[in-house]
Structure 1
Amino acid sequence: MKLQDILTLDCTLCAIKGTSKKKLLEIISTTAAKKFDNIDTHQLFESLMAREKVGSTGIGNGIAIPHGRLSNTSQVIAVLLTSEQAVEFDAIDNRAVDIIIALFVPEENCQQHLDTLQSIAQIFSTKQIAKQVRKCKNSQELFNIIKHAER
């Protein structure tokens, strides 16, 4: 599944004020919770934190792809967030993160999850997309860049 198929404007957040990894993951969880009928913010946050305990999802170049697996849903939700200031994320290159693409996926859909992660990696494989994303001034502009990046 491609990022453009699951990202919605209401889950695209531009220039968020967040001073820590935990705070940004809380904002992501609160945003995603509005899309689920039977899953609350706490469950979403815990799924992200459980994955971060395994190892950081900071992939380098100021980008992180936190993801949580959920047992009681068939929905796949993505949240794209940019932060005003880069935050420490324990990324593989030790660089602070200011672009976060979070995924919430059904526990049993492992292949779909991997395909979506690959889609995200492809979008951000060129530094040009990351530069464009960092220049965005609002959520609509950010959303449009991602929608057009995969075409």
Structure 2
Amino acid sequence: MKLSSIISKDCTKAAVLFNSKKRVLEYISELAHEQLPDLNPHDILNALMTREKLGSTGIGKGIAIPHGRIEGISHVTAMLLVNKQGVPFDAIDNRPVDIFLALIVPDGDNEQHLKTLAAIAEKLNNKEFCKQLRNAGNDEELYAIIASAD
């Protein structure tokens, strides 16, 4: 899977600075709303928070893949944020998270959702790739890293 097929240039944000899990998820909801203007940002946030209540999407090594299912959309939309510092996120290794690759997925398409999560997790398992993401100085550079990884 090409990450650039689900992440647009305006959904990559480098060197952001948030200090809480809730604020990160709120910002992700705002970005998603810009891409999916027919959706209410509160509904997007609720979908993300509902998933977090089932268990943290922090997969370890400073990485989280927050995701939420939404009715009424036809395709996966993703956002990538790299925070300047780690945020407490209840990750499985209890480490703070600074890389957030968030997904808004159509409700009901479980197979595609699982394939997308697996492909993203595989890319984020590459230490050099994550190092490049963390070192991106601006949004354009961050998107260029995503595009070149495809």
Query: What TM-score do you get using the length of structure 1 for normalisation?
Result: 0.95
CA RMSD of superposed structures (Å): 1.0
Deviation at 1:27, TM superposition (A): 0.5
- 1:62 paired residue number: 62
Question: After superposition, where does 1:37-56 map in structure 2 within 5 Å?
Answer: 37-56=37-56
- 1:121 paired residue number: 121
Question: After superposition, where does 1:72-91 map in structure 2 within 5 Å?
Answer: 72-91=72-91
Q: Distance in 1 between matches of 2:32 and 2:95?
A: 26
Q: Distance in 2 between matches of 1:81 and 1:118?
A: 19
- Aligned pair count? 150
Query: What TM-score do you get using the length of structure 2 for normalisation?
Result: 0.96
Q: Tell me the alpha carbon deviations over residues 51-94 of structure 1, each in whole angstroms, 9 at most, x when there is no partner.
A: 00000000000000000001121131100001111100000011
SS in 1 for 2:89: coil
- 1:148 paired residue number: 148
Gaps of 5+ in 1: none
Q: Distance in 1 between matches of 2:37 and 2:16?
A: 25
Deviation at 1:37, TM superposition (A): 3.3
Gaps of 5+ in 2: none
SS in 2 for 1:147: helix
Which stretches of structure 1, 4 residues or more, deviate above 6 A after TM superposition? none
Deviation at 1:41, TM superposition (A): 0.8
